Every structure is written in C-alpha cells, then in structure tokens.
Structure 1
Amino acid sequence: MTLPMKTPSQIDTLESARRILDIEAEGLKALSESIDVSFDKAISLISKMKSRKNGRLILSGIGKSGHIATKIAATMASTGTPSFFVHPNEASHGDLGMITEEDIVLLLSNSGENSELSDIIAYTRRFNITLIAMTSNPNSALAKHSDLALLIPKAKEACSIGMAPTTSTTMMLALGDALAVTLLEMMGLTKEDFSQFHPGGKLGQKLKKVEDLMLPVGELPCVSPTMTMDEVIVVMAEKNIGSAIITAEDKTVLGIITDGDLKRFMGPDFLTLTAENVMSTNPKSIKPDALAAEGLDIMMNHFKTPITSLIVTEEGKLCGLLRIQQCLQAGIA
C-alpha cells in the first residue's frame, strides 16, 4: 500500500525532529531514574562469568529488539566482555548448541511476550543457564521466567502513531551501553587494551603506537658529532629523509640537522663545519609506546610551523623516527 507523502512545506520538519528527540530524551531520563539494584546484580553476574574465563554473554531478540541486541553484543565484545548474538529463529534450528552452561543469556523484548523467544527461554531453564531479561513488562513470560529482569520504563514512543519502536529501543540501547561501559570501567581498560579489540578501521588506526609506524634505526641517517658537513650531506642524500640525527657511540641522541639548519649555516666554510656545529640540540622526541596520534599532534601543533618527523627515543637512546607521511598514510589524522 502506498500512502500520499506530505511535502516539507506541509510539515515543520525541524519542529518534528526536536519533538521526537525530546520524547526520546524524556525516555532516557526516566530510564536513568529507574536504575535500581537489579543493574548491580546484572553487573555482578556478568563479572563473575568473565572471571571464570570460559563464559560468554549471549544476546538475543527479535525484530527491532534483535537489532539492538546485535549492537549491544558488538559493544560488549569490543570493550572486553566476550559476547555474540544468536538469532531466535536460528536458535530453534540448531544454534542453541552454541549456548553453554557457563554462559549468560540476555534476552531483549519490549513486551516480553514474543513467541520466537520461547525456545531460548526453555533451553536456559532446562540447562540452568542464567537468563537476564530486558523488558518493559514485569508481568511478561520473559520477566517471570528469567533469573533477573532489567526493566525499562514504559515511555511514549516517538512516532506520531505511538507504535513504531523508537523510544523503547533507544532506552534498550542506552541500558546496554551502561552495562558495557560499567564492565569496562571495572576492568580498568586502557586505550592500548582497547586497541587490541580494534586492530582495523579508523579507531584501530588512531590507536596505533609510534613503534608500529616508525622507521627503524637501521634506515636512519645517523652521524657522529665530529663528522664534517660534506660527509653529513652525503648521508642525508643516501637516506633521503630530509634530516640527519647526531648520536653518540651508545646511540644517545645529541641533536638533529634539518633543512632549516642547513640554510642557517650556509656559507663559504659550510662544508668544513662539523655536525655538532650545525645541529639543533634537545630535539623534540617521543617514546615508542606512545600513540602515533600523539606524535602527529606534536608534529602538527607544537611548533610555529609543522615539522615532518619526530625522533623516537627510550631513555635518551635512539629507537627510530616517526614521519608525518607514515602517520597520514596510516589514516591517523
């Protein structure tokens, strides 16, 4: 059936958007105010499961609740809680075997009366698998058969006919985020730990470390402080990096010679000068285990004009060189 579509001139689209967002915001406020001891109990159950090292948090739901369950499972997995989604229909045709007695099942259903969930509910009861419900109906079959019910408040749906799952699914998604992030905070997860779950994509790129992108020492134009500039220029040309790093015999960084230094000292006796006469001392450096994004920020924003490379050191000893080109190619920006 095709219904006549109103044109933007027949409806105040901005007012409609604000009204919808206000309705959903009211739902989230009600959810925040309704959080009680059941949330603590859910966190405790999931934490104990994780401590056993062999359990997973299984998410399931049908329809829009199923889409939200999929997102919550993905968020859990990416923040350190082993988790995956099982479709109720597939569960009824063999995928129940993916759920073990060590797992916890989190079922999502606004009404709590979806017949498609009955097989999963029965399976958890038969094998004594912990079942957590997320529903707005405390008297539903799902809530009554669960070990713990996370109740979302009954709230007005944002659509004009009050039937399309909007506010209710927003609250489910937010409650799932609250569970995932609380569990993350309990773990004390760092950015570096987080990057282990996100090796690809933009997030994984931004969490790459300096040591992942830096040029190794063997590829760098390293010179001694007593080397004359005619020799230094040859080394710089061979390595084609645009700078030379002056190091002691033990690889302690003494200084750096850049194109700018060459221009400042250019003169009749330039080629007879030594590297220590020309070098800039105390060059800015970064540690190899720092985030590459931090190195890019230093190169782009900590000088009057951006620099193209950053020395990598550990306790003053040369480890490598981070180049802005590598950062940009890796999608760090």
Structure 2
Amino acid sequence: MKAACHSLSVAALGLNALEAQFAERNFAATFVRLIGVIMNVRGRVIVTGIGKSGIVARKMTATLTSTGTPAIFLHPADAGHGDLGMVTPDDVVLMLSHSGESTELGPIIQYCKRFAIPLLGMTAQAHSTVATAADICMLMPDVPEACPNSLAPTTSTTVQMAFGDAMAIALMEMRGFSADDFHKFHPNGRLGAQLIKVRELMAKGDDIPSVQEEASLLDATIEMTRARLGGTAIVDRDGRLIGAFTDGDLRRTVTGKQNLTEAVGRFMTPTPLAVGPEELAQEALHLMHERNVMLLFVCDKGKLIGAVHMHDLLNAGVA
C-alpha cells in the first residue's frame, strides 16, 4: 500500500512539473509553435517512439485521430524496412523519446532531414540527439521514475501521456471541434449514443402520427394505431403543433363514454412537450423521465417535423 501511494505521489509531482513548464515563457512559446505547425500541416501527423514511449505514441495517435487531427503511428523497427514510405513531404513527424538517444529512431531522423520533413521532438534531455535534430523540441520535465530503482518508465510516461492529451485538447479548441464532430468519429458504443441528435432517431414524414383538431376521436384512434407510437399530434391547418392525444387520453375518454364522432380537439392535451431536432437524444430522454411521458414531438419553429418514442431512444443505447 505504501509503495502504491508513493508511486501516485511521484506521478502527481511529475504532472505538477509539466504544468509548471507551461508557465515558462520559452516552453509556452515552443508549444504555440508546435500547435501552429500541426494545425497547418497538409498531410498527417506521423507519431513515433520506441518501447514505453512507443506505447504512449500509439495512444497519442488514437487521441489525435479521434479529435480531428489525422495521425498515424510509425513503429521505428518497421521504419527501416519499408514503412518510411508512408511519410510524405506533406506530413510532420512527432517523435517521443524520454532519453532522446534511442538508436532505433536514427533512420527516421535521417529520413526527415533528407526530405525536409518537419520533425517535432518530445524528450527530457535538452542536449540529446532527438532534441538537437528536431525543428521544434518540447523539453519535458526530467522527473524521477516511481519505481524503487528509478529505472522503469512510470512517471515519465505519465507526463508524456498528459502532454499528448493537452496537445490534442488545444488542437480541438483551435479547430472548433464540436460534440457533433466527435460523434461522427465515434458512431458506435455508449459514448456515441450519448451524442446522437433527436433528428437521427425521430419518426419523419408519413410515419409521424398527426390529425387536425377537427378530426373525430375515431380518426385519432386509427392514426395512433397506424403509427404505433402511443399517441398522435394535433396540428392546425398550417401544420403547427397545438396538442397531443395519447393512449392515456383515449382510455379516459372511453371510460367517460364519449361519442367517438366528437372532435379530438376537445380532449387533447394542449401545448404538449416538444423538442428541437438538434437537441441531444440524451437530453430528450431526461425530459421524458422528468415529465413522465413516453412520446415527444419534434418541432422546427413551431411546425411539427417529427416524433420520438422513449423506446426508440433506449433501443439506440441512449441513457
């Protein structure tokens, strides 16, 4: 337990040291230059590293790619066996190495110099090969490792990972990367489901149950049965939503022995709940739970354009 807590404490010190680096003028200016180069690259960010730095580089690649910055991982061991061909003059190389002296990185450095490909470095050693070769070098804090022998990469990789996330977030903000953009790159799984818009799940066109307020109770019942959404919208002659008539309303009406030829407008719920098409499905579901309803109508400037049932949201994985 003591060793575990110590490792967390050392990791925290490493992150604090990285945060302090951003307060230094030279480091901050270098970071701004690095972001500018990545923002303006016409191709991709080629991220590379060996050992534990390589594992961090893979994660960094995935984060960049999923947040709007095209990136690809290049394994140094494969680079000298043909994979350098994936690097084009339109790309930029981001090289991770805590020591800055990993021999496996040599061929990539030589390739970048030969073909004038921008090389961005991340290392903790200011006078290392990587730092010297890089066009822009982010000097990471030289923090102690958490392991008892100060050898196994622990704190250093934590700092690398945190810097990669900070870089990705900065690029996201520069690009104006929105939740909608994020959903485009994450269409599957629970995360994607929470970013679905109402317009993606709602019934449209002829699938929307609707009648005018002059329609009879029988006509409204037939429309509800056809659409199978548990209710129907009541609209005026301009297609504007003015009310709703649900299964519950029908049961209460039948219990009261009303004549089914009477106008449904007399028994509708006026000004029913409605949402816009760009509303997150998650927010629509929360509204349904709060107001204890199963059906929401979707309107654009007051006009009915869709309907969404709670079951549709749940079946899509919205929660």
Q: TM-score range by the shorter chain?
A: over 0.9
SS at match of 1:215: coil
Q: Select 1:312's aligned residue among 298, 307, 314.
A: 298
Query: What's the RMSD between the two structures over aligned residues?
Result: 1.7
Q: 1 CA distance for matches of 2:15 and 2:149?
A: 20
In the alignment, is the contact (CA less than 8 A) between 1:46 and 1:57 conserved in 2?
no
Correspondence for 2:36 = 47
Q: 1 CA distance for matches of 2:199 and 2:295?
A: 14
Query: Which residues in structure 2 correspond to 1:164-203 (within 5 Å)?
Result: 164-203=152-191
Correspondence for 1:8 = none
Q: 1 CA distance for matches of 2:307 and 2:4?
A: 50
SS at match of 1:110: coil
Is 1:28 aligned to 2:15, yes or no? yes
Shift of 1:295: 1.2
Q: 1 CA distance for matches of 2:89 and 2:316?
A: 43
SS at match of 1:313: strand
**CA offset digits 1:199-244 (Å, max 9, x no partner):** 2232222211111111113112211101121222222223222111
Shift of 1:194: 2.0
Q: How many residues align?
A: 316
**CA offset digits 1:19-41 (Å, max 9, x no partner):** 22111011100111022434443
Q: Select 2:194's aligned residue among 206, 212, 216.
A: 206
Gaps of 5+ in 2: none
Query: Which residues in structure 2 correspond to 1:234-273 (within 5 Å)?
Result: 234-265=222-253, 266-273=255-262
Amino acid aligned to 1:23? V
Query: Which residues in structure 2 correspond to 1:224-303 (within 5 Å)?
Result: 224-265=212-253, 266-301=255-290, 303=291
**CA offset digits 1:20-67 (Å, max 9, x no partner):** 211101110011102243444344344345335x22111000111001
Identity of aligned residues (%): 41
Correspondence for 1:162 = 150
Q: Give the alignment's TM-score, normalised by structure 2.
A: 0.93
Shift in CA distance, 110/49, structure 1 to aligned 2, threshold 3 Å: closer
In the alignment, is the contact (CA less than 8 A) between 1:136 and 1:154 conserved in 2?
yes
Amino acid aligned to 1:309? L
Amino acid aligned to 1:102? D
Query: Which residues in structure 2 correspond to 1:29-108 (within 5 Å)?
Result: 29-35=16-22, 36=24, 37-51=26-40, 54-108=42-96
Is 1:130 aligned to 2:114, yes or no? no
Is 1:221 aligned to 2:209, yes or no? yes
Q: Select 2:5's aligned residue among 18, 21, 24.
A: 18
In the alignment, is the contact (CA less than 8 A) between 2:46 and 2:87 conserved in 1?
yes
Amino acid aligned to 1:319? I
In the alignment, is the contact (CA less than 8 A) between 2:30 and 2:138 conserved in 1?
no
Correspondence for 1:3 = none
**CA offset digits 1:144-173 (Å, max 9, x no partner):** 111121111111212233221110000000
Q: 2 CA distance for matches of 1:281 and 1:97?
A: 66
Q: Give the alignment's TM-score, normalised by structure 1.
A: 0.90
